[in-house]
Amino acid sequence: MADAPTDPEVPAAPSAAEKGTPEYTRRQFLGLLSAGVGALGAVLVAIPFVSFLLAPLLKQPEQVWRAVGASSTFKIGETVEVAFQDPSPLPYAGVSAQTAAWLRRESETTFRAFAVNCTHLGCPVQWLPDGKLFLCPCHGGVYYEDGQVAAGPPPHPLPQYEVRVNAAGQVEIRTQRVPIA
């Protein structure tokens, strides 16, 4: 069979090899597309993990004094739970920026505040006024009223917050990150 006549004035389109671009088969193209989408997904999944690992190296939240109530509302010798806003570098922290402490008035001018988180795994401890003990319900950790470990798995005493009474008579706690050992 004879070749179809070609118009000598219309040049033939250059092939991909002549243009210098590689030719891909359908299988190669889909393989490259899958690898690209997979790499993008891996990057998106890795971002939270990398930010978690780098967070301690980045700017720490500042410690500020938070008022928890008038000093006249706390009875001497009584331990009560008080809530306050934790410093947070995350603008979307919302409810998770709320924290608490166990506050005890020891004298007219002296207060002590203990973290509510057990030093074993961070579970919230409860105050038992009859036994004058802090009890962690998760694994049976027990702390004396001064925060020292009495029994169970906690490796350290309960962390304490700095406490002061300002000129207006408000009890203030110096905030910090959740103090889990």
Q: What is the pLDDT along the chain (181 residues), one digit of tens a residue?
A: 555 555 567 666 666 556 666 788 899 999 999 999 999 999 999 988 888 787 767 666 667 888 999 989 999 999 999 988 877 656 677 777 788 899 999 998 899 999 888 888 888 999 999 889 999 988 889 999 998 999 989 889 999 999 999 989 999 998 876 554 4
Do 37 and 102 share a structural domain?
A: no
Asked whether residue 117 is assigned to any structural domain, the reply reads yes
User: Half-sphere exposure (CA, 13 Å, Cβ side) for 66?
Assistant: 19
Statement to judge: residues 31 and 72 lie in one domain: no
Whether residues 111 and 141 share a domain: the answer is yes
Q: Scanning the structure block, which residue is given the tokens 């090899």? A: 17
158 and 73 housed in the same domain: yes
For residue 84, is it within any domain?
Answer: yes
> Tokens 């930010």 appear where?
51
In a domain, 11, yes or no: no
Question: What CA–CA distance (Å, rounded) separates 116 from 143?
Answer: 11
In a domain, 181, yes or no: no
Instruction: Based on the fold, state whether residues 69 and 52 are members of the same structural domain.
Output: no
